[in-house]
Structure 1
Amino acid sequence: MDVQALRYALTLAEELHFGRAARVHYIAAQAFGRRIRALEHELGAPLFERTSRRVALTSAGERFLPRARRVLAGMDELVLAAEGDRSEPVLRIGVLGFGLADRWSATRALLARHRADLSLSYVELDWATQYDAVRTGEVDVAVVHDVGGADDLLVERVMDAERYAVVPVESELAAAEHLTEPDIVDRPRVAPVGQPGLADWGGGSSRGGVEVRSPAAVATAVAATARIGLHAEPAMRFYPHPEVRYLPLDGPGAVVAIASRVGDHRDAVAAFRTAVLASAGIERLGRRAGG
């Protein structure tokens, strides 16, 4: 069962409004609604009555949600107990897309030098889950595409990745060396979804429902639909596709950041953050030396 969807359902039971409940979790209302519907489908019963004017609990919701609240409270206690006594330190790292791109090796080397006892666990994230995975404790720290809306977390900028357009190879745009926003403004696009702020970064609506929920899906969606996609420069290396071309595009780049819970002062989390930031400094020094 989707534990995060249970948390969403409990919030909806308190707010009785999809938009407000979605904002509590910093998730788009559409994605929030999908998770609620999927939970109801799994349970085989509607938890909420929906009309154009109101949201209300069904009788099944009134029976189920108090039990879900008790189960989640017990799970949270278990997580806290496990975090307080780990005989073999394991750091759960959530990663969106290419994450740190070319800095993983340097980060691991720095981390191993200072915390050789620390094992790393990898958790794949998408745009909808990148912040919530940190909030709920599913991961200890996450490498995210920071699009805002996470003021309750400790989010620190790591690097800026240049903005690129992803275009089908058969498009006349594919012959260009560089694109500007006017070049693509009227073109149908593939839209990244899952977080408020993505629409502004990705160029607005998909105008037809072509949506992607993870960076890894952008190039395939462009190839399949002949629409325009947006990505960050490292995607050329990490997500190559024979039917698309990546072209530099004017506009705001992607901000790669590390996120952890405010007040989480564990040594393992601090060590990872330090290693990531130090790897960024090493890269900058290398660029200056090479220039």
Structure 2
Amino acid sequence: MDVHLRELRYFVAVAEELHFSRAAERLFVSQPALSKQVRALERQLGLALFDRRARTVALTPAGAELLPRARDLLAGWDAAVRAARGAGAAVSLTVGLQTAVGRDLQRSVLQSFRERGWRITLRLSGWDDPTAGLATGATDVAFLWLPVASGDLAVRVLARERRWVATAAAHPMAARPEVDFADLRDEPFVALPGTAGPLRDFWLAVPQRAGREPVVGVEAVAADEALEAVAAGLGVVLLAEGNARLYPRPDVAYRPVRGLPPAELALAWRADDHRPEVAEFVAAFPAADPATGG
């Protein structure tokens, strides 16, 4: 019988939270998908792992017996992955990215660590994984846009930037030097997927809509995909000022938006990861001035 590590991670999250919705938020998956995977695990094992009641979830005796062993298996696998990554190099780190970072933030730092013999691997993640691999252990540190739902992460804000809007080049608002967010509220938006959690709401500017639901024209899981949708006239999308410069296109216009708080780009790592190489890597990036970007 082969059980996937993902199913064990799902089981452990539900067992620790004793609540399917909270576990789904922690894992950045939908609650129905999580329930389906746990049911599949129970069918494979031929055991009921949870006692599901109207408003509570409890471990069965079989679930309680499996929990510590599942934790050990996952911890052992994560340790094996870290050891494999470090083989042949003094230090090995995998860095997650959600979009191109640019802004002269990481190039010189990465180069200096590589010159010291560190093996730095870059791993690009879609917006459907707002932790860029940190939640699953696929990455050691990651450049992320805030907010991120997981309380298991520590972050250092590296940049605060005004939010801009991307429209099709022929869109009427492309003729304006600046756009009020109030004029964008009824526009169809290109949205991040639901698994992006609070990050989806941030880039839809939900808190600034005074209770009005955003109009979602289409969803996208990556910057290039979002901009293709914008160029095709399927919606507009908010983005950070620095990303407007990183993704120039003749068929897309970028304009600053009034009436929104700034976006925050951060370097994140697991709060319980106390390895000195992680601390050294994080310390190499200066934190943004709290007064910037307001």
Give the TM-score band, short-chain normalised: 0.7 to 0.9
Q: C-alpha displacement at 1:270, in angstroms?
A: 2.7
Q: Which residue of 1 aligns with 2:209?
A: none
What is the correspondence of 1:1-291 to structure 2 with a 5 Å cutoff? Answer: 3-4=5-6, 6-12=8-14, 17-25=19-27, 27=28, 31-33=29-31, 36=34, 71-79=73-81, 86-88=87-89, 89-112=91-114, 116-131=116-131, 133-193=133-193, 194-204=196-206, 206-208=214-216, 210-250=218-258, 251-277=260-286
Give the alignment's Cα RMSD to 1 decimal: 4.0
Q: Structure 1 159/34 Cα, relative in aligned 2: closer, same or farther at 3 Å? A: farther
Is residue 164–residue 255 contact of structure 2 (8 Å, CA) maintained in 1?
yes
**What is the deviation of 1:141?**
0.7
Residues in 2 aligned to 1:34 and 1:230: alpha-carbon distance in whole angstroms:
29
Would the alpha carbon gap of residues 16 and 160 (structure 1) be closer, same or farther in structure 2, given more than 3 Å must change? Answer: same
- What whole-Å deviation, never above 9, does each CA across 1:63-108 have from its counterpart, x for those lacking one? xx9897675354134246557x744122111111022443233323
Structure 2 regions of 5+ residues with no counterpart?
A: 58-62, 207-212
34 and 235 in structure 1: CA distance in 2 versus 1, 3 angstrom threshold: farther
**Are the aligned partners of 2:20 and 2:35 in contact in 1 as well (CA < 8 Å)?**
no
TM-score, normalization: structure 2?
A: 0.72
> After the TM superposition, which of the residue ranges 94-103 and 263-272 deviates more from structure 2?
263-272
Task: Report the CA distance between 1:269 and its aligned residue.
Answer: 1.9
Give the fraction of aligned pairs with identical amino acids, expressed as a percent: 30
Shift of 1:116: 1.2
How many correspondences in the alignment? 269
Contact 1:163/1:253 (8 A) holds in 2: yes
The 1:270/1:9 distance shift into structure 2, 3 A limit, reads same
Any idea what SS the aligned residue of 1:241 has? coil
Distance in 2, Cα, partners of 1:39 & 1:238: 39
- Which amino acid is 2:228 matched to? T
* Separation in structure 2 between the aligned mates of residue 125 and residue 192 of structure 1, nearest angstrom: 13
- Residues 158 and 285 in structure 2, CA contact (< 8 A), matched pair in contact too: yes
Higher helix share: 1
Unmatched segments (≥5 aa) in structure 1: 57-61, 285-291
Looking at structure 2, the residues matched to 190 and 19 of structure 1 have their Cα atoms a distance apart, in angstroms, of 26
